[in-house]
Structure 1
Amino acid sequence: MANEKNDMPNEKEEKLRQYLAGLGRVLIAYSGGVDSTYLMAVAKEVLADGARAVLVKGAMQAERERSEALDLAERLDFPLTVLEVDVLSVAEFTANPPDRCYHCKKEIFGRILALARQQSSPPVLDGTNFSDQTDFRPGRRALSELGVLSPLQEVGLTKAEIRALSRRRDLPTWNKPAMACLATRIPYGDPIEDQVLRTVERAEEILVRHGFGECRVRVHGDLARIEIPPGRFAGLLGEYQSVTVALQDLGFRFVTLDLMGLRSGSLNPPGGLA
C-alpha cells in the first residue's frame, strides 16, 4: 500500500509527459515559482524546442522575484520572452473588488495569447495545480474563458507532489516559499496604486533582510500587519525595534504582528464570492 502511494507522483508525472507530448508545442506562463518551473522543466524535457516560456513584467510583482525568475530561467536554459503588461491601466483591477484576480488574469493572459498568435498559436499553459482547487481563486474563471490549459491540475498533481518531484529533479524551487501578487496585501475596496505596491515590496524586503523569507505585510491605511509563520514570532520580537523603525520610515504609523501567523488569502471574503 505504501509503495502504491509512493508511486502515485511518478504515475502522474508520466501522465503529464503524455499530455505535453500530445500538445506538441506549448507556451508556458512562467513566474519562477514552484509550479511553473517544474512544468517548464518537464515540458522542455518532453518537447525540447517546442516548449517556450513567457515571464510577465508588471507592477504586481516584486523586483527581487522577477530577477530571481530571470536568473533561474537562464540557469535552466529555458527559452524565455519577457512581456510587459500594465495591469494598473485596468480600472476593474485597480478598483480592487473581490474578483480583482479575474480582471488581472484576463488582461495578462489575453496579452500572452496575443503573443502566442505571433508564434503560430501554440497552446498557452499555466501552473495551476490540483491543490489550488480548494482556494478562493477567481482568476481561474479567466483562464477557463480564455482557453488556457492547466496540465498540473488536469493530471491531479498536488503542491506537495510537485515539490517532491522538483526535489528529485534538483530544481532549486522545490522548497521555495509560495509567491503571491503584491495586490493581495491590500484589503478589497482600497484602490491599488503603484506607490502602495512599492511600499509593500520595500516592507517585505526589510523582513527578508532580517531573515524572514516567508512573510506578508498587509496594508491597512497607516497600519502594517506582519504575517510570518508562528514558529518565527520569537525571532521577530527579538528584532522588533529595528523592524518597527524601518517600516515607520516607509510611512507606517503602526507596525503590528498578526498572531494568526502567515496564511494564504487572509483578506479574502468569508466563503468566497456569492
Structure 2
Amino acid sequence: MPDPDVPVALADTYQGIGRLGVAFSGGVDSSVVLAAAQRTLGPDRVIAILGVSPSLPAAERTGAHTVAGHIGVPVVEVQTYEGEQAAYQANGPDRCFHCKDELFTRIDDEIVQAHRLDAVAYGENADDARRPDRPGSRAAAEHRVLRPLAEAGLGKKAVRELARAWRLPSADKPAAPCLASRIPHFQEVTPQKLAQVEQAEAALRALGLEDLRVRHHGEIARLELTPADLLRSATSPLREQVRDAVRQAGFRWVTLDLGGLQSGEFTLRVLNRD
C-alpha cells in the first residue's frame, strides 16, 4: 500500500516501476526523490547511485552515504570521467551537460543491467526546470531519466517541507553545486583547481562559516558568504584566519564579494550577456 505521507502527484510518478535507481548527491532534492521512492516502492526495489569524480568533495561523498543510510537504501558508487573530456575541461555554459551526460552514460553502461533497473530518476525540481542555466536537464532528457519532483510540480519550498516532515538529515542542507561551478566559464577546469577550491571551502567551514562558495580566479579567491558571515569575516580575528586558511589552499589573494551568495552566477552572467 502506498505511503500516505507521499503526495499523490509524486507517488504517481513511480507507478509501473519495478526497480528504480536514483542519481543521488545527498542534497535535499535527490534525498526527497530517494525517500519517496523508498516509501512508494519499498527499500528492496530502490538503489541510490552516487557519481564519484574529482568534482565531488570528500565531505559530500560521506554525507551522501549518511543520508542514504538514514533513508534505508543502499548506495552504489559509479566512477565518472568527465574531467578527461575536452568539452568539460573547456568549461562553457554547457559544462553541466557533459557532466550529467557522462554520469547517465556510466549508469546506463554499468549499473542498469547489473541491478536490473527499470528506470533511473534524478532530483530536478519544478523551479529548476524553469531556469535557463540547467543544461544538465537536457542530458537527462536524452537518457530518458525521470524527473519525479518536476513532473509532480514540486518546487524548492515544497521539497524542503517534505524533507523536514520526513526528518531527512539533508532537510536544511544548503545547495552544494559541484566544485567545477566555482571556476568562471571558458577558464579550464583542472584537478588542481578543484582541489584548491575543496581545500579552501573545507577550511572555511572548519572556522564556522556555513553556506559559502570559493570562486577560483587564478591567484585570487573570491569568497561568497551569507550576510552574517560576510560581516564576521571582515572583522578581526576571523579576518586573518579566513585569509590564512584560503592562502594555504594555494591562492595568493583573498577577497570578499559584497554581493554575497550568487547561485549559478557564472552561467547566468554569460547567458545575460548573450
TM norm. shorter chain > 0.5? yes
Structure 1 75/133 Cα, relative in aligned 2: closer, same or farther at 3 Å? closer
Residue 117 of structure 1: how far off its partner (Å): 2.8
Which position in structure 2 is the counterpart of 1:205? 202
1:243 partner letter: V
C-alpha distance after superposition, 1:198-231 (max 9, x if no partner) = 1000000111111111000001110000001123
Residue 145 of structure 1: how far off its partner (Å): 1.1
C-alpha distance after superposition, 1:180-199 (max 9, x if no partner) = 01000001111111111010
- Is the 2:67–2:168 Cα contact (8 Å) retained in structure 1? no
Counterpart among 111, 114, 118 of residue 118 in structure 1: 114
TM-score, normalising length from structure 2? 0.92
| SS of equivalent to 1:246 | helix
Which position in structure 2 is the counterpart of 1:7? none
Structure 2: gaps of 5 or more residues: none
TM-score, normalising length from structure 1? 0.92
- Is the 2:180–2:194 Cα contact (8 Å) retained in structure 1? yes
Which position in structure 1 is the counterpart of 2:90? 95
The farther-off stretch of 144-153 and 119-128 is 119-128
1:149 partner letter: L
Does 2:9 match 1:33?
Answer: no
Deviating beyond 6 angstroms after TM superposition, the runs of 4 or more aligned structure 1 residues are none
- Is the 1:98–1:273 Cα contact (8 Å) retained in structure 2? no
- Cα distance in 1 for residues equivalent to 2:105 and 2:248: 39
Which position in structure 2 is the counterpart of 1:271? 271
Alignment RMSD: 1.7
- Cα distance in 2 for residues equivalent to 1:263 and 1:196: 20
Counterpart among 35, 38, 43 of residue 44 in structure 1: 38
C-alpha distance after superposition, 1:113-137 (max 9, x if no partner) = 2211333342110000001023311
Residue 18 of structure 1: how far off its partner (Å): 2.0
Residue 242 of structure 1: how far off its partner (Å): 1.2
- Is the 2:124–2:147 Cα contact (8 Å) retained in structure 1? yes
Equivalent residues in 2 for 1:1-274, closer than 5 Å: 13-48=7-42, 49-114=44-109, 115-135=111-131, 136-238=133-235, 239-268=238-267, 269-271=269-271
Aligned length: 265
1:129 partner letter: N
Residue 142 of structure 1: how far off its partner (Å): 0.9
| Identical counterparts, % of pairs | 37
1:182 partner letter: L
Residue 11 of structure 1: how far off its partner (Å): 9.7
The farther-off stretch of 185-194 and 133-142 is 133-142
- Cα distance in 1 for residues equivalent to 2:5 and 2:75: 29
- Cα distance in 1 for residues equivalent to 2:207 and 2:257: 17
Residue 107 of structure 1: how far off its partner (Å): 0.7
Residue 77 of structure 1: how far off its partner (Å): 1.7
